[in-house]
Homo-oligomer: A and B are copies of this chain.
Amino acid sequence: MEKIVALCKRRGFIFQSSEIYGGLNGAWDYGPLGVELKRNLKDYWWRCMTQLRDDIVGFDGSILMNRAVWQASGHEATFSDPMVDCKTCKARFRADQLESSVCGQKPSKSPATCGGELTEPRTFNLMFKTYVGPVQDDSAITYLRPETAQAMFVQFKNVLEVSRKKLPFGIAQIGKAFRNEINPRNFTFRSREFEQMEVEFFVKPDTGFEWLDKWLEERLTWYEAIGIPRGKIHVLTVPDADRAFYSKGTYDLEYEFPFGVQELEGIAYRTDYDLKQHQEHSGKPLEYFDEESKTKYIPHVVEPSAGVDRTILAVLCEAYAEETVKDEADKEETRVVLRFVPRLAPVKAGIFPLLKNKPELVTRAREVQKLLRPLMKVAYDEAGSIGKRYRRIDEEGTPFGITIDFETHEGAKEASTSAAGTPISAGQKETVTLRHRDSMKQERIAIADLPAYLLAKIA
């Protein structure tokens, strides 16, 4: 795990938020590569959930909502963790995560744990509170949303009307949520600010379990498409005692992280609990009129809810590999490579003139960049030996390396010097070296064939 954290910082995937000020516990920034990886992941989820389906529409609700939402949903009263304090060293723990009845804190530079006495558990609400408007009194209180789901429940009627859908139908949303976790930990896995990708799927009351199973299958297929094989996902049927009280059935999809098997996504059959609560508290009808059966009822909900940051972390863990390979001087070295599926890779291709002091190579490389850039994210690089440049894109997870070399001009099948003087002619069927990240195999491909070839690979 330390290696992954270090790589994330070194290559610009993830930084600690506010790092120069010592950070903010539980908050993270995505650097140039991280933001592209995250965008690709979210875009692919959005595409699968909305563009490619007839039965789900998109939505984007605000983070700040009327406080009444959180009173109706039960979050204000019950969204809390039990917390204990150490009477000796003042460390704080979640009571339900304790491994011992005394304080397990390890002071720095000491292998021994504190061992202090712990207080009785107290409840601690996980919502961040703030005040909206110029007066800080009770009527101005609201919270940063602790989940994106509620916005979709309270707008159910509006969305249903404008989209003219019939059940079963869903609302999809990607957005930030905030939880004041007592102990943020495991890098970005448990953080205080995080992003969710959620569908609230509204179904006829007697079809809830059927849709719960359909969504399980759907989501497992989706994770395969982003490079997380089924064998690495543990499907946990959450036992009755551990389920949220409103849920009649929940699957947790768990991934084998280096720090343990932990939840990536929950698929919950939430029944009609949420809509019923909001109907009752708002006094606004949230029923659905079923034209087939001519009856009115509150739809039931199945919710596949995934964590964006957790999925990114799983993708990074799954992609990370170290291999022993030979360098240009035939010496053994360790190659670090991120084997992202091409559709998620932050950069799709590196574009390299073999030598930076050969204008004919540099010019042609820039032209290849210009050709490909409108179609996908590419990166031009001329610094260092070609071997070093390949290693760099390996670490960044770029699936293709394109090298413009002396063979690039047709008719220059032999080496170096003769080709260097050949003028570049657009009419020729010029080829470049295409190097594959995972196999490290190289092949020659015509420049004209690059767009179609790469687009098919990254789709």
Residues of A with Cβ closer than 8 Å to B? 9-12, 15, 17-36, 38-39, 46, 50-52, 54, 57-66, 68-69, 83, 92, 124, 128-134, 142, 144, 151, 154-155, 157-159, 161-164, 176, 178, 180, 182, 192-193, 278, 281-282, 284, 286, 373-374, 376-377, 380, 383
Residues of B contacting A36 in the complex (Cβ-Cβ under 8 angstroms): 58
Residues A155 and B15 in contact, CB atoms below 8 Å apart: yes
Residues B17 and A35 in contact, CB atoms below 8 Å apart: no
Question: If the complex has contacts A32-B58, A57-B32, are A21 and B66 also in contact, measured as CB distance less than 8 A?
Answer: yes
Q: Please report the C-alpha to C-alpha distance between residue A39 and residue B151 in the assembled complex, in whole angstroms.
A: 18
Selected contact of A18 from candidates B31, B66, B164, CB within 8 Å: B66
A139 CB to closest chain B CB (Å) equals 12
Residues of B contacting A59 in the complex (Cβ-Cβ under 8 angstroms): 29-32, 35
Q: Please report the C-alpha to C-alpha distance between residue A375 and residue B48 in the assembled complex, in whole angstroms.
A: 12
Residues of B contacting A27 in the complex (Cβ-Cβ under 8 angstroms): 62, 64-65
Residues B132 and A54 in contact, CB atoms below 8 Å apart: no
Residues of B contacting A34 in the complex (Cβ-Cβ under 8 angstroms): 60
How often does this chain occur in the complex, in copies? Answer: 2
The DSSP consensus for interface residues of chain A is mixed
Q: Please report the C-alpha to C-alpha distance between residue A395 and residue B383 in the assembled complex, in whole angstroms.
A: 52
Q: Please report the C-alpha to C-alpha distance between residue A124 and residue B135 in the assembled complex, in whole angstroms.
A: 10
Residues B52 and A374 in contact, CB atoms below 8 Å apart: yes
A429 CB to closest chain B CB (Å) equals 24
In the complex, what residue of chain B is closest to A69 when comparing beta carbons?
B18
Residues A35 and B60 in contact, CB atoms below 8 Å apart: yes
Residues A64 and B192 in contact, CB atoms below 8 Å apart: yes
* New A-B contacts (4) at CB < 8 Å, excluding given A31-B59, A52-B373, A128-B132: A17-B61, A19-B154, A31-B158, A51-B373
